Structure 1
Amino acid sequence: MTIQDIQTVKDLLAEQPVISIIPHKNPDGDAVGSCLGLYHYLKQLGCNATVVAPNDFPNFLKWMPAATDILIYDNEPEKATAQIEASTLIFTLDFNSLKRADTLTPLLEASVATFVMIDHHEAPEEYAKVTFSQPEASSTCEMVYVFIEAMGGALQIGAEIATCLYTGIMTDTGNFKYQSTHSNTYRVAAALIDRGANNSEINGKVYDTNSFDRLQLLSASLQNMVFLKEYHAAYITLTAEELQRFNFRKGDTEGFVNYGLTIEGSKLAAIFIQEGNFVKISLRSKGNVDVNMLAREHFKGGGHINAAGGRYDGTIEQAVALFREVIPAFLSQYI
C-alpha cells in the first residue's frame, strides 16, 4: 500500500461514486467480514456503498452487523445487476481473479467502473486501478484494517467494523493457529478487541452454534475418512445423498477438512464433496507442503500454500482416483 495508492482511493471517494463491494463465490468469514468492515467504514464517510455477493453465505455468519444489507445475486438478480451497472467504483475483496465472482463475472468484466482490489491470494490479475495485494497477510480482513489505518480512519473503527474484521481474521487463521498467523495478526486482533470486538462472543457465534444435523454430517464424514499412511495424507468424501440425508445447509462442511490434519503424521488433508455434476475440493496442509500448487495443477483452483480449493468436473470416484494418482509424486517433494 503506497502513499500514492491511498491518495488515489481518497480522490476516487471524493468524486462521490456509486460503490459496489464484491466478495468471491461462496463467501466465507474473511470475505463477508472484510466486505462488511469496509462497508461500515465507507458508510461513515458518507459514501453510497452496497455489498453485492454472487450467492448466499453460511448462517453462522448472518449475525454480523449489517449482514442483512448484503445484496445476493442469486436471490435478487435484477436488483444486483442494476447495482453493479450503476456503480462507478467497485472494490473486489478476498479474490484477485474476476472468475472467482462466478455469476457476477460477466457484469464485472463489462463494467466501466474503476476497480480497487484488496486481497491476500497469490498471482493477482491486473484488472484494478489500485491493487492491494499481500499474500503473506493472514487474511483480507487484516489488510482492510491496515487500509483503513492508512486512510486515516483508525479512530473511526468502532464495534461494528471491529466485529466484522475480527471475525474474518479469526476464521481465516483457523482460530489463530495457521502458519499465516504472524505477530502483526495478533496486534491487529488486539486493536480490534480494544475497539469493541467481543472475541469470546464472536468465537461462540461462529464455532459453537452447530445444528444436530451438522454434527451428524460430521460423524458421517469422519467415518468416510481414509488415511494414506505411506503418503502422510488423509481425505474425506461426502456424496450428494449424504448431504441430503443430513439436511445440508451452506457452511455445514466448514472446517471438516481440518480433521485430516489432526492425525499423527498427516501432512496433507482433502475433502471431496459432490455438488451436482462436479466435485468441490478443499485442501489443507502443514509446513511447506504447497496445496496451492496441487490445486492449480490438477483441480482448476488455487489459494495459499497451506489452504487451497478446486473442483473436478465428474464423479467423486473419479476425483478421488485422480487425487490418489498424483499424491505420491506430489508429496515426494516434501517427504
Structure 2
Amino acid sequence: MNSANIKAVEELLSVPQRIVIIPHKNPDGDAIGSTLALWHYLKNRGHEAVIVSPNDYPKFLKWMPGNEHILNFETKNSQALAAMQEATLIFTLDFNHFGRTGQLEPILEASNARFIMIDHHQAPSNYAEVTYSDVEMSSTCEMVYNFIEFLGDTSTITPEMANCIYTGIMTDTGSFKFSSTTSRTHQVVANLIDKGAKNTEIHNSIYDTNSPSRLHLLGCALKNMVILEEYRTAYITLSQEELDTYNYKKGDTEGFVNYGLTLEGIRFAVIFIENKEEGIIKISFRSEGDFSVNQFARKHFNGGGHDNAAGGRSDVSIEETAKYFVSLLEDYKENLNA
C-alpha cells in the first residue's frame, strides 16, 4: 500500500463504521483466515463488523476463532442481506472481481458502501476506493498482516488473529513450499508464532482430520490419474457418480490436484471435477516453473488465478473437457519441456 492508501484507510477507520467483510465463493483457508483475522482486528478497534460468506466452506476450516459468527448467505440470508445493505464500508478479501462472489455480485454492485480490496490475484477490477493488490504475495493473509502493520497495529495482534493469519499463509503456500514463499513470509510466520499461533495444532486441524470416505475418494482420484509424459502433464477426473459413491463433502478434493506434481518430471497437473448441480466441470490447474496456468486458464477455460495455481470451468461433459484439454497440449509442448 502506498502512503495515500494508508492515509485513506486511517481516515475511514478513524470513525465507527458498519463493516462487512466478504470472501470469495467456495472460500478456502486463505479466504476464511484473512476475513476472520480482519474481523477480529476491526472489532477490537471498536467497529461493527460482520463476515458474509457467499456459501459454505469445508469443515476443516470451521475450528478457527470467530468462525461461529460468519454469516453463510445461503443459510442466513436475511441477516446477511441486512448487514450488506446497512454497511458503510465493505472489505473484499482474496478476490478482485465481484463475479467471484456468485449470488452476492448484484448486491455488491448496487451497494452505496465504500470498498477496500485486499487481494493477490492478477488483473484486479477497479471497484474499490482503496485497492491493496500485490500478485507477488504468498497469500491474502500475509497481506492482512501487512495491512495491520501499515496502520502501526501489529502490537494488537492477538493469538486468535495469529492463528487465522497463519492458517491462510500455510494453506496458500502449500505448507510453505510454493515459490511465492519468501523470506518475508517466514518472518511474518515467525512473528505470528511469537504472538500465539499454534503451528502444529493448525497443521493437524487442516490436514489430519480426514474421514475414511475422503481417503477412499483420494484413492479413486489417483486411480483415475492419466500421465502424459511427452507433455510432462498429469490430469485427474472425478465424475459426479464417483463423488457420490464416496460420500463427497465440500472440501474433500482440496489438494488432490497437487499429487500430479509429486511425480518426477511432471510440470503441469490438472483435476476435472464434475458438478451436476451447477452443470459444469470445475477445473484446478497447478504448474511448476515458468509455465503460467493463469494464462492457460484464461485463454481456454474461462478462469484465471496465479502463474502456478489457477482455476477454470467447462460447460461440456467431463469426457469432452478432458479430450479438449489434451488436444491443447501440443501447442504448449515446447514450453512444457523447456
| TM-score normalized with structure 1 length | 0.99
**Of 312, 319, 322, which residue of structure 1 is paired with 2:321?**
319
Partner of 2:141: 141
Q: Are 1:125 and 2:125 matched, yes or no?
A: yes
Question: Per the alignment, in what secondary structure is the counterpart of residue 118 of structure 2?
Answer: strand
Q: Which residue of 1 aligns with 2:220?
A: 220
**CA deviation after TM superposition for structure 1 residue 66, in Å:** 0.5
For 1:54 and 1:321, how far apart are their aligned partners in 2? Answer: 32
CA contact (8 A) 2:232 2:336 kept: no
Are 2:24 and 1:24 aligned?
Answer: yes
Tell me the equivalent position of 1:187.
187
Deviation string for 1:12-63 (max 9, x for gaps)?
1223221000000000000000000000000110110000010001000000
CA distance in 1, matches of 2:330, 2:80: 45
Residue matched to 1:297: 299
Q: What's 1:81 paired with?
A: 81
SS in 2 for 1:147: helix
RMSD between aligned residues: 0.8
Deviation at 1:76, TM superposition (A): 1.6
**What is the SS of the residue equivalent to 2:281?**
strand
The residue that corresponds to 1:165 in the other structure is 165
Amino acid at match of 1:278: I
Cα distance in 1 between the residues matched to 2:280 and 2:77: 24
SS at match of 2:33: helix
- 8 Å CA contact 2:288, 2:308 repeated in 1: yes
Residues 227 and 234 in structure 1, CA contact (< 8 A), matched pair in contact too: yes
Deviation, 1:262, is 0.8
2:287 to 270, 285, 288: 285
Give 4+ residue runs of structure 1 displaced > 4 Å after superposition: none
**Match of 1:53?**
53
Out of 308, 311, 333, the residue aligned to residue 310 of structure 2 is: 308
8 Å contact 1:162–1:192 — kept in the other structure?
Answer: yes
Contact between 1:289 and 1:331, CA under 8 Å: does it hold in 2? Answer: no
Residue equivalent to 2:34:
34
Question: Between the two proteins, what is the percent identity of the paired residues?
Answer: 55
Structure-2 separation of matches of 1:57 and 1:293: 27
Q: Give, as a single letter, the amino acid of the residue that structure 1 aligns with 2:329.
A: I
Cα 1:334–1:230 change in 2 (3 A) is: closer
Q: What is the SS of the residue equivalent to 2:117?
A: strand
Partner of 2:238: 238
Which residue of 1 is the match for residue 11 of structure 2? 11
Structural mapping, 1:249-268, within 5 Å = 249-268=249-268
Q: Unaligned stretches of 5+ in structure 2?
A: none
Post-superposition offset of 1:333:
2.6
Verify the 8 A CA contact 2:96 2:124 in the aligned structure 1: yes
Contact 2:118–2:140 (CA under 8 A) maintained in structure 1: yes
Q: TM-score, normalised by structure 2?
A: 0.98
Match 1:332 to one of 323, 331, 334: 334
Are the counterparts in 1 of residues 267 and 336 from structure 2 also a CA contact under 8 Å?
Answer: no
